[in-house]
Amino acid sequence: MGFATKAIHVGQEPDPLTGSVTVPLYQTSTFAQEAIGKHKGYEYARTQNPTRSAWERNMAALEDGTDAISFASGMAAIDAIARLFDAGDHVLLAEDMYGGTFRLFDTVLSRHGLRFDTVDMRDLDAVRRALRLDTKLLLTETPTNPLMTISDIAALAEIAHSSGALLAVDNTFASPYFQRPLQLGADIVVHSATKYLGGHSDLVHGVVVVRSEELAERLHFIQNAVGAVPGPFDCWLLLRSVKTLALRMEQHQRNALAIAQLCSSHPAVERVYYPGLPSHPQHELAARQMSGFSGMVSIELGSRQKADRFIAGLRIVTLAESLGGVESLVCHPATMTHASIPEEVRLARGITDGLVRLSIGIEDSADLVEDVRDALDNCR
Ligand SMILES: Cc1ncc(COP(=O)(O)O)c(C=O)c1O
């Protein structure tokens, strides 16, 4: 079955009770039981909810996994992965990652005994050197937020497995439409479904997909025991959103390429970060492991003053956190998404005061090109 067919049909068969073509919204906290211990498989909505189960079945199919486990946010999903491990275990994190992921490990999980180091996941020798006997997990993001660096999923899986560790990949930026890490050897995929999967900037949600049934069982246990579950309405919205994921991702990519090309030739831009451009240092690797390059473009404008002027000049693109929605957004990572990273670390990684990140939406390409061109002209 092709991707778009799966997105529309898996987990979304017509309701056997009424024939309803869309999965019903089971907005309930509990389920009546016929007698003690006799029920229809649903007892309490933290443990199971039919709308949530339908969404999880759909996501498992889209990522070519055996099961999906969903959470109240992307951060809750990443936290659930970390809870697979014990105090004293060691995790290797990608150096260039969403700031909130770094903050979770740095300020919360480390207080509970989980140890971690960061490493440049592009440099496979550095990853091998950073591995320790007690390393249990490699967690990478590809493409990364906000510098669009690419890590070689198949090579990282091999390195992780050769030392008995698991590989988890944050696939938020690519979406399963363009990249399927489990097929490349990863053990765990995680998404901030707030982004492309939700796609309409109207919900916050996270989802983990795994290949092994053993991991699925442990994560479902954590989902229920910790309780960071999503509400059924968000799962219902996701089921609706995902039906158009294939169409949306194609248009995100088309528009992003047009913007990346415009920025590459505009004198106000010092550097463009987009894996779809042949000038991206890892374009070949991206083309090998992704079937498209998604809709995120970052640009270096050289100073905070220029970034301010560029953002002030935009009329269609809105200044806001988040990404992956139908509407184009712009953000200033240094003061917004990555503000939780210490300044010297942030600057060393290239997240400068002149860096601006664009989440290119699915508006008419010509309108976006005109908007970004005018704003760039404004900041010279
Ligand atoms: C790549 C990535 N992973 C995880 C998260 C966290 O997800 P959420 O905001 O849904 O908790 C984000 C949020 O921006 C993100 O960009």
Percent pLDDT > 70 in the chain is 100
Q: Residue 91 burial by CB count (10 A; 0-12/13-18/19+): exposed, middle or buried?
A: buried
Residue 70 in contact with ligand 1 by CB distance below 6 A: no
Q: What is the pLDDT of residue 213?
A: 98
* pLDDT 10s digits, 37-56: 999 999 999 999 999 999 99
What is the Å distance from ligand 1's center to 172 Cα?
A: 7
Query: What's the whole-number mean pLDDT along residues 97-117?
Result: 95
Give the residue among 59, 57, 56, 104 at the shortest CA–CA distance from 83: 104
According to DSSP, the β-strands at 135-141 and 166-170 are parallel
Query: What's the whole-number mean pLDDT along residues 139-154?
Result: 96
pLDDT higher than 90, residue 157 = yes
Annotated catalytic, 349? no
pLDDT higher than 90, residue 338 = no
What is the Å distance from ligand 1's center to 19 Cα?
A: 36
CATH class of 3-242: alpha beta
Which listed residue (26, 98, 177, 274) is catalytic?
98
Residues 13 and 19: their CA atoms lie apart, in Å, by 9
- Domain locations along the chain: 3-242, 245-378
Q: Residue 344 burial by CB count (10 A; 0-12/13-18/19+): exposed, middle or buried?
A: exposed
Confidence category of residue 204, pLDDT binned at 50, 70, 90? very high
Annotated catalytic, 46? yes
* pLDDT 10s digits, 308-332: 999 999 999 999 999 999 999 999 9
- Which numbered atom of ligand 1 lies nearest the CA of 76? 11
Annotated catalytic, 26? no
Residue 75 in contact with ligand 1 by CB distance below 6 A: yes
Give the residue among 196, 166, 170 at the shortest CA–CA distance from 181: 170
Q: What is the pLDDT of residue 297?
A: 98
CATH class of 245-378: alpha beta
What is the Å distance from ligand 1's center to 191 Cα?
A: 7
Amino acid letter, 112: H
What is the Å distance from ligand 1's center to 347 Cα?
A: 21
